[in-house]
Amino acid sequence: MTKLEKINNFNPNDIGDAENNIYGLPFTTEEADLVIIPVPWEVTVSYSAGTAEGPAAIYDASYQVDLYDANVTDAWKKGMAMLPIDKKVAATSKRLRKKAEKYIDMYALGKTAEKSNTMKQIQKEINEACLHLNNKIKKDALKWMDKGKVVALLGGDHSTPLGLMQALAEKHESFGILQIDAHADLRAAYEGFTYSHASIMYNAIQIPQVKSLVQVGIRDYCEDEKILSSTDKRITTFYDDQIKAQQYAGETWSAICNEIIGNLPEKIYLSIDIDGLDPKLCPNTGTPVPGGFEFEQVVYLVKAVVQAGKKIIGFDINEVAPGNDEWDANVGARLLYKVGNLCLVSNNQ
C-alpha cells in the first residue's frame, strides 16, 4: 500500500493503533517526512536516572495523543515515524551507568582520575563509548537526511544529540541553535566526562558551522558558564528570572518571543531539555529546577519561530524520565507531536 493509499484509508479520529508506528500513524520511516531516532542513553547523568526509559515511555504514551493539531492543518498526513529502540545502546547505557555512579561517588569524595587508576579507567571507557555513540547517531542521521528526511532525536540524557548536530553540519554551511533548558550546559568535560549531559552546548559550539546559540529559560548555571555566555559573542542567553521580571513588569510573552527570534539566523536547530518546563510538567526528570515554562509557552515560541520564516533543520527532546506513572511521558509525547508538526511546516514554507 502506498503512502497516499494509507492516508486515504486512515481515520485520524480513531483510537491509536498499537500495530502502527508512533502516535498510531500508519507510516514507515521510509514513508514519513520526519524520522525520529530514539536514544536510550543516560551514562553521565549526575543526579537522578531514568531518562534512558524516556523514548520507550513516550512511544507508549503517544497512542493517547489526538492527531488533530489546531496549529497545523492535516498535520498527521506529513507523517512521522520512530526507528526501533536500539537494545544494544540501552544495554551499554545501563552497564556504563553503574560504572559512572561509582566514578561520581569517588569524585564527590574528592578523588580524581589523575590520582585514581580506577577512575581513570572508567573515565576513558565512558568517554570512548560516548564518542562511539555520537558517531553512530551521526551516521544514522546522515542516512536518513540523504533520503530527504527531516531528522529528530528523542533522548535519553541531553548529551545524545551531538551526533545529530554534527550530521547537520555536513549538510548546512551554517545554522544556529535554539536551546530551551533550565541549564546552560556549557561546562567543559563536566566531572571529567567529555560528552557529559552538562557539556552538550559547550561541545555544540565547537562545531564550526554553529554560528550562534540562543538559550532560553536558563536558571541553573555555574560562574564559568555565566562568564562564557557573557564573553562569547555567539551566545545569547535569556535567563528565566529576567524573562519573569519582564513579564511581571507588563511585557507580553509575544514581545519576548520576538526578541528571542530576533537573535536567530534563518536556519536553526532546536534543542529542548524537558526541564526547561515547569517541574510540575516533568517531575521525574533528572535535574528539575523551580521556575520554567508552561507547555503552551514553549509551543507558542516554536510556532512564532516558524511564522517568522525560520527553518527548523532538526530538533531534539531530551531528559524525559517516566517515573511511576505516565505523566512525564504524556507531556513529552504531546510536545514531540506539536514540535514535530511545526518543524515540518518550517521545511515546506
Beta bridge partners of 277: 293
* pLDDT per position as a tens digit, 196-220: 999 999 999 999 999 999 999 999 9
* pLDDT per position as a tens digit, 252-309: 999 999 999 999 999 999 999 999 999 999 999 999 999 999 999 999 999 999 999 9
3-state helix, strand, coil in the chain (%, to 5): 45, 15, 35
Cell matching residue 312: 527548523
What integer pLDDT is reported at residue 68 of this predicted model?
96
Region of 32 (left: φ > 0; alpha: ψ -120 to 50; beta: rest) is beta
Residue 182 contacts residue 243 (beta carbons within 8 Å): no
Rounded-to-integer distance, Cα 279 and Cα 327, Å? 12
Phi (first) and psi of residue 213, to 5 degrees:
-135, 120
pLDDT bin (cut points 50, 70, 90) of residue 16 is confident
Taking Cα atoms as reference points, which of 35, 42, 29, 32 lies closest to residue 318? 42
pLDDT bin (cut points 50, 70, 90) of residue 325 is confident
What integer pLDDT is reported at residue 44 of this predicted model?
87
Give the mean pLDDT of 48-66. Answer: 94
Rounded-to-integer distance, Cα 38 and Cα 88, Å? 12
Phi (first) and psi of residue 77, to 5 degrees:
-70, -25
Look at strands 80-82 and 210-218 and give their pairing: unpaired
Give the mean pLDDT of 108-120. Answer: 93
Furthest-apart CA atoms within the chain: distance in Å: 65
List, in order of start, the domains of the chain with CATH numbers. Answer: 3-346 (3.40.800.10)
